Structures are given as C-alpha cells and as structure tokens.
C-alpha cells in the first residue's frame, strides 16, 4: 500500500461507510449500531440523493452500505440505482432476509457487491446470535444471488461461539459461490453489552491469526491488521484508514471517522447541511485522527504490519486514543473493558 | 477500474480487489482529462500544450506512464 501517498492526504475518501437506517427486522446481540427501530431525524430520500451527488462529484469510489438493515428503507434500491448511475460502486451489507428473486434481479449490476451476514455454519450457532429462522433465510438469499452470479461474500463477526466453525463456514460460502469475510467484533452498540460474552480470548486470537495465514482467500476488510502477518501483508491495509481513506455517515447524516466511533466527541459534521469536502479537508476531529500516533507501539517489531491496530477497540476498552489495540499479536495486552458488562 | 487525480498523481481503484494503485505522475495529466473519454493522441497533445513540451518528450512521458501502469497490471499492452 502506498502509505506515503495516503499520508500526503487524499482529496476525498476512497470509500465511505454509510449506515442508511437504524431500522432492522433482526435483533442481533452484537449489533454495532444498536439497530432496531427507525429513529427520528434519519435522512430523507432527497437528502440521500444530495449526499450521493456530492460524494460522486468528489470522485469517492465506493459506498459501503450498512445499517440497521438497508432494505428496511422503502427507497433503498432507488438510492442504489442513483449511486450506480453516478458510477459509484456499492458494497451492501445486509442480513439477507429481504433478498428474493425480484430483489436479486434489481441487484444484478456489476457495480454491486453484497455482504450477507451469518454468524455460524449451522442454524443453532447462527440463530443464537441473529435470531430464530435467520439462518434459513440467509441460505435462501444466497441461492437467489448465486442464480444471478452476483458477487457475494458471507460476512461473519469473529466470536468465541463461531471460532471453531470457520472451516465449515468457508465450505458453506464456497457452496454458494461466495467468499468468506471475517470481521472483528468491536464493543460498540449492543457489542458493549455482549463483549465479555462473545469476544475471543488471547489464545483464540493467536489461533485465528494462524488460521488466516492458511486461508489467504478469506478476506478481513480492514478489521484484523492488528493480527496481520507477513503472509497477508499484500492483502489489505496495514493501518487504520479512518479519516485517511474512509469515514462514516450515520443514518441522520452525522459524519464520523468510522462506524465504530460514533460518540459525540468524534462528530465531524452533519450532512447534507455541512459541506462534505470541508469536513474531509478541515474538520478538527479528522485532523487529530490523521495525526494520531501510538507511540508505545513504534518500537515494536510488528509496527510496520499494524501501526498500533484499531483505535476504535483501543478507545472502547480504555476510553482513550493513542493506546495500543488490546488484540495486538505482539503483546496481546489483556485489557479489561471499561464498557458495561452483561449482568 | 476507476481513477482520479491526487496530489501525487493518479489513484486507481480496482473494486473487485478491492485494491488501490498509486501512480506518481504528479501534475502531468490535467484534471479535465478525467471527464469523458479521450484518445492517447489527445493525451499527448494536452500534455504538450499544458507543459509546453515537444511532441517527442510528451510521447516519452506518456510511454513512461503506460509502462508504470502495465507493471502494476492496470493496462495490458
């Protein structure tokens, strides 16, 4: 990765995570957005169109769409059509329960990539986290997407419950022509309450790093650079991309460094009222994030592979930035989360 | 594949990777070149005019950029 060019500052994000609604028909116990019902102040269709136009004009390449469940918005497919007309790629993270043959037909566009969430290789392990019946609905959705040859990955959040099912999940994904993508569990949203119950321990994290090395086709997005090894160096980011390559827009139009840092202190602006280019260029929040240094990591032999790891996990577990990711492979610092625990 | 101009030059985005490619062309190619489609001949001419260079050196620059893009697997010659 051209870190030196990223450090020069890009004219716009490469991609923007956009959580388009808080509404969701499932109640996953680890939901980062604490999603459920639509909230007051969510962006209207017209406001969404303005945001798409603004970001397209800045040549942002891609929207990573999430929520809530994006398909809960009645205008969702129309908004995606508009983004595609502007040449933007959309990577849609969905729980899959709204995808039937008709919807798959609407999604059949080379600019669309789908990520369907699944938390286990069996109904028992998945439904314990995502709710009864959700496994079978996802399997049906995968069938519809496969029929249309739509690019899809199964996205799973690594937890101690599915840790032993990754091989079976890889096989399951392959059966539907999909890739497996493993995301990191973060203690935000309802993940705060389920953190101690679900987060993998140090030994599991080390074993997962080893498993990743043996499964180079499995993608991790930007989640696991704290456990990256030489073998995966060329496969993704080796640093946090927040405010450098990416940022996040909430369902109300609030702009944050990333989806996992949506606390008031990280609010950089609000769309469509504020100028996105001005936020990207001049926001004090974004400036301070770009200057963020994790000094205590700089002498580590792994620094070049992870640059201190994920600031969001460090923040949520230690309530401050500029400290090491507690899931770091070199130290595997055992930090007790400050977040509220499940009773 | 998408591309946009940055301070260092060209930023390519292959969304099927996804992968980013950084091509340090600096200000060799003007921003207006990225609106619509243009021929290689048009690119040489715009560089010649923009940088007040001879046609020969403009051609050499374009060849260097194309070689760089080929090495990164972004174009096939």
Handedness of CA A43, A45, A50, A55 (dihedral sign): positive
Residue B40 lies in a domain: yes
Q: How many CA atoms lie within 13 A of A102 on its CB side?
A: 3
Domain that holds residue B35: 2-71
How many domains are contained in chain B? 1
Instruction: Report chain B residues whose CB lies below 8 A from the CB of A9.
Output: 7
Distances (CA, A) of A108 to A144, A222, A231: 11, 26, 34
Residue B76 lies in a domain: no
What's the CA gap between A221 and A208, in Å, rounded? 15
Tell if the CB–CB gap between B7 and A14 is shorter than 8 Å: no
Alpha-carbon gap: B5 to the closest alpha carbon of chain A (Å): 8
Angle ∠(A40,A41,A46) on CA atoms, nearest 5: 130
Q: What is the DSSP letter of A210?
A: H
Residue B21 lies in a domain: yes
Are the CB atoms for B22 and B71 separated by under 8 Å? no
Chains A and B form CB pairs within 8 A to the count of 41
Q: Which residues neighbour A218 within 8 Å (Cβ) at sequence distance 6 or greater?
A: A166, A170, A179, A180, A181, A182, A212
What pTM does this model have? 0.89
| Residues with pLDDT less than 70, chain A | 1-2, 222-223, 226, 228-237, 331-343
Mutate to test the interface with B, among A1, A2, A16, A277 (most CBs of B within 10 A): A2
Residue B39 lies in a domain: yes
Q: Please write the tens of the pLDDT for every residue from A167-206.
A: 999 999 999 999 999 999 988 889 999 999 999 988 888 8
The separation between CA A67 and the C-alpha centre of its own chain, rounded to angstroms, equals 10
What's the CA gap between B13 and B67, in Å, rounded? 18
Alpha-carbon gap: B52 to the closest alpha carbon of chain A (Å): 27
Residue B77 lies in a domain: no
Instruction: Report chain B residues whose CB lies below 8 A from the CB of A12.
Output: 4
Q: Please write the tens of the pLDDT for every residue from B21-65.
A: 888 888 888 767 776 777 888 888 888 888 888 888 888 888 888
Q: Does this complex have an ipTM over 0.85?
A: no
What's the CA gap between B29 and B47, in Å, rounded? 7
Are the CB atoms for A97 and A133 separated by under 8 Å? no
User: For chain A, what is the mean pLDDT?
Assistant: 90
Are the CB atoms for A294 and A308 separated by under 8 Å? yes
Are the CB atoms for A18 and A64 separated by under 8 Å? yes
């Amino acid at each position: 990765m051209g870190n030196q060019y990223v450090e020069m500052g890009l004219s716009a994000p490469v991609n923007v995570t956009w959580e388009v609604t808080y509404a969701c028909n499932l109640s996953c116990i680890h939901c980062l957005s604490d999603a459920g019902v639509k909230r007051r102040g969510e962006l209207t269709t017209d406001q969404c169109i303005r945001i798409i136009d603004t970001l397209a004009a800045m040549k942002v390449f891609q929207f990573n769409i999430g929520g809530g469940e994006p398909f809960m918005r009645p205008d969702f497919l129309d908004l995606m059509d508009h983004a595609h007309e502007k040449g933007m790629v959309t990577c849609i993270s969905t729980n899959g329960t709204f995808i039937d043959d008709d919807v798959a037909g609407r999604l059949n566009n080379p600019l669309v990539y789908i990520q369907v969430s699944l938390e286990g290789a069996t109904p028992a392990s998945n439904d314990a986290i995502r709710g009864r019946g959700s496994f079978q609905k996802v399997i049906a959705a995968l069938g519809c997407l496969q029929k249309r040859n739509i690019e899809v990955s199964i996205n799973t959040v690594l937890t101690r419950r599915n840790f032993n099912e990754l091989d079976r999940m890889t096989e399951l994904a392959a059966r539907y022509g999909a890739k497996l993508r493993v995301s990191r569990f973060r203690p935000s949203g309802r993940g705060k309450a389920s953190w101690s119950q679900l987060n993998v321990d140090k030994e599991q994290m080390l074993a997962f790093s080893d498993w990743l090395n043996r499964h180079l086709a499995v993608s991790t997005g930007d989640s696991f650079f704290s456990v990256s090894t030489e073998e995966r160096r060329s496969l993704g980011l080796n640093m946090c991309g927040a405010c450098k390559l990416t940022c996040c827009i909430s369902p109300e139009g609030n702009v944050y460094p990333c989806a996992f840092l949506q606390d008031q202190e990280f609010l950089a602006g609000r769309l469509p009222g504020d100028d996105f280019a001005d936020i990207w260029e001049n926001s004090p929040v974004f400036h301070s994030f770009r200057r963020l240094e994790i000094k205590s990591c700089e002498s580590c032999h792994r620094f070049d592979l992870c640059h201190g790891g994920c600031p969001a996990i460090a923040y949520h577990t230690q309530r401050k930035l500029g400290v090491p990711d507690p899931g770091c492979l070199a130290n595997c610092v055992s930090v007790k989360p400050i977040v509220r625990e499940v009773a | 594949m998408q591309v946009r101009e940055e301070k260092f030059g060209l930023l390519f985005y292959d969304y099927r990777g996804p992968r980013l490619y950084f091509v340090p062309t600096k200000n060799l190619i003007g921003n207006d070149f990225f609106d619509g489609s243009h021929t290689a001949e048009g690119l040489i001419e715009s560089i010649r005019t923009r940088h007040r260079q001879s046609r020969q050196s403009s051609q050499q620059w374009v060849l260097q950029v194309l070689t760089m893009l080929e090495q990164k697997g972004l174009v096939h010659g």
